[in-house]
Structure 1
Amino acid sequence: MDKKTILVVEDEESLLKLETILLTSRGYAVIAVPHGQAALKVLETEKVDLVLLDIMLPEIDGYEVCRRIKENPATRKLPVIMLTAKKSHEDLARGDEVGADWYVTKPFKSAKVIETIERFLAAR
């Protein structure tokens, strides 16, 4: 079975490390980047199976990153899971607007994140 690759976009270094450890311990390949521009650059050159995306990022926020992923024919079908502290009704609605496939709020339970990722990867 091919190792699935997850792109993790998180500007908080400790969380980026935590998410990377969590995912690699489950057998996933991880590409970890600290901001949205880097994420979009990675998607131009790497085959990624899923994006785990924070919203509050420097330069361009996660909503804009998600919108660009979903507008690009090459990445449109890529599952995007928002992993964020933003949890108001407006935040969730905006996530839907830009095409996010799922929304997990911080603080998160590792098991819930893994379960969500596995569900989306199984559907691909």
Structure 2
Amino acid sequence: MSKKKILIVEDEESLLKLESILLTSKGYEVKGVPNGQAALDALGEDLPDLVLLDIMLPEIDGFEVCRRIKANSLTRHIPVIMLTAKKSREDMARGETVGADWYITKPFKSAMVIETIQRFLAK
């Protein structure tokens, strides 16, 4: 069985490394990118099984990245988990509006992130 591929979109380098190490250690194939445009480019090259997406990104924010993923017939089936410091009800509602499948706020517990990813990839 091939490894499940996860695209991590996170502009904070230390967090991107932490998330990459965590998911790689759990047997996932991970690609990390630092901004929204790089995420959209990566999706054009190789479709992941899941996207772990920060919201506060340079240039194109996570809401717009998610909206574009869900608007594209080639990528709309990919689960998008928002992983962000934005905790307001308005932000969570906006995440739902643009099609996010799940919303996790920072600081997060690694076990919860892994559990959520496993739940979506088991479908």
TM-score range, shorter chain: over 0.9
2:33 corresponds in structure 1 to: 33
CA distance in 1, matches of 2:2, 2:52: 19
For residue 26 of structure 1, report the CA deviation from its aligned partner: 0.2
CA contact (8 A) 2:51 2:81 kept: yes
Percent identity (aligned): 76
Tell me what 2:70 maps to: 70
Residue segments in structure 1 that go unaligned for 5+ positions in a row: none
In the alignment, structure 2 segments of 5+ residues that lack a partner are none
Match of 1:58 in 2: 58
Deviation at 1:2, TM superposition (A): 1.2
What TM-score comes out, normalization by structure 1 length?
0.98
CA apart distance, 1:25: 0.3
Whichever residue aligns with residue 26 of structure 2, its letter is R
Report how many residues are paired: 123
2:80 maps to a residue whose letter is V
User: What amino acid sits opposite 1:55 in the alignment?
Assistant: I
Partner of 2:11: 11
Q: Are 1:86 and 2:86 an aligned pair? A: yes
1-structure distance, mates of 2:41, 2:88: 30
Q: Which runs of 4+ in 1 moved over 2 A?
A: none
RMSD after superposition: 0.4
- Quote the Cα distance in structure 2 between the aligned partners of 1:100 and 1:82: 7
Superimposed CA distance per residue, residues 65-114 of structure 1 (whole angstroms, 9 cap, x where no aligned partner): 00000000000010000000001000000000000000000000000000
Partners in 1 of 2:47 and 2:39 — Cα distance?
12
Hey, what does 2:113 align to over in structure 1?
A: 113
State the Cα distance separating 1:47 from its structure 2 match.
2.5
2:47/2:75 contact within 8 Å kept:
no
